[in-house]
């Protein structure tokens, strides 16, 4: 059964986006670039919700840089009850219906790990269902206060986490890796 890793980029005050912030909250760095490249080169299925799918598809599907080309080539699964096929981003599978059943089936059938990037609402649902095997937070060294948008953990259920690892990138970013306490594997689909 494949593991599912949820990756979120957040500020110190817990926002996933903000007013007038560029890519990586305007905190680029060689270590961060290497981490992003290494993570995108690993075998995986990208899992996302509709909002993240639409944003990434718009950026990556027409871009010609190396990172976008890799994103285009990766298999992707988008969970949405509002999107309809055909989807414009190549290698993307649309999954409708119950999230627990869809992710459970994907975890059982996949020979490679599953990974979500962003998709705050999807991650919230996955945590509530106990389907996240690893939660990784890349913490950026700034607070956004009133300029913060998309509080990463607003509305999340209370979830116990066990620290599984830490790493400092570019002498200022902190990668925190957690495993949720008490995660039970999904039931194999019939």
Chain centroid offset of residue 163 CA: 18
Residue 159 lies in a domain: yes
Q: What pLDDT is recorded for position 180?
A: 85
Residue 71 lies in a domain: no
Residue 171 lies in a domain: yes
**Which CATH number goes with the domain that contains 12?**
3.40.430.10
Q: What pLDDT is recorded for position 52?
A: 93
Residue 157 lies in a domain: yes
Q: What pLDDT is recorded for position 182?
A: 64
Q: What pLDDT is recorded for position 168?
A: 98
Query: Which range marks the domain in which residue 167 is found?
Result: 4-42+98-180
Among 91, 98, 120, 123, which residue's Cα sits nearest to residue 5?
123
Where residue 69 falls among pLDDT bands split at 50, 70, 90?
Answer: confident
Using the predicted structure, report yes or no on whether residue 63 has a pLDDT greater than 70.
yes
- Say if residues 37 and 71 touch (Cβ distance below 8 Å): no
Number of domains composing the chain? 1
Where residue 162 falls among pLDDT bands split at 50, 70, 90?
Answer: very high
Q: Give me the helix-helix angle, 120-128 and 99-109, nearest 10°.
A: 90
What are the b/e assignments for 18-55, b being 16+ CB within 10 Å? beebeebbebeeeebeebbeeebeeebbbbbbbebbbe
Where residue 183 falls among pLDDT bands split at 50, 70, 90?
Answer: low
pLDDT in tens, 99-140: 999 999 999 999 999 999 989 999 999 999 999 999 999 999
Residue 56 lies in a domain: no
Residue 128 lies in a domain: yes
Residue 8 lies in a domain: yes
Distance CA 29, CA 141 (A): 13
């Amino acid at each position: 059964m494949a593991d599912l890793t949820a990756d979120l980029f957040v500020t110190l005050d817990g926002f996933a986006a903000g007013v007038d912030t560029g890519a990586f909250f305007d905190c680029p760095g060689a270590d961060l670039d290497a981490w992003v490249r290494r993570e995108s080169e690993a075998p995986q299925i990208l899992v996302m919700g509709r909002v993240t799918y639409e944003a990434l598809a718009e950026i990556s599907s027409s871009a010609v840089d190396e990172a976008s080309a890799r994103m285009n080539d990766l298999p992707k699964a988008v969970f949405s009850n509002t999107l309809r096929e055909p989807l414009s981003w190549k290698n993307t599978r649309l999954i409708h219906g119950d999230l627990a059943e869809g992710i459970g089936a994907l975890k059982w059938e996949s020979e490679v790990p599953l990974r979500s990037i962003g998709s705050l609402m999807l991650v919230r649902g996955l945590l509530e269902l106990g389907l996240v095997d690893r939660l990784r937070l890349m913490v950026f060294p700034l607070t956004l206060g009133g300029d913060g948008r998309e509080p990463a953990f607003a509305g999340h259920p209370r979830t116990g986490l066990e620290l599984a690892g830490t790493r400092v990138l570019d002498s200022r970013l902190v990668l925190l890796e957690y495993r949720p306490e008490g995660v039970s594997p999904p039931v194999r689909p019939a």
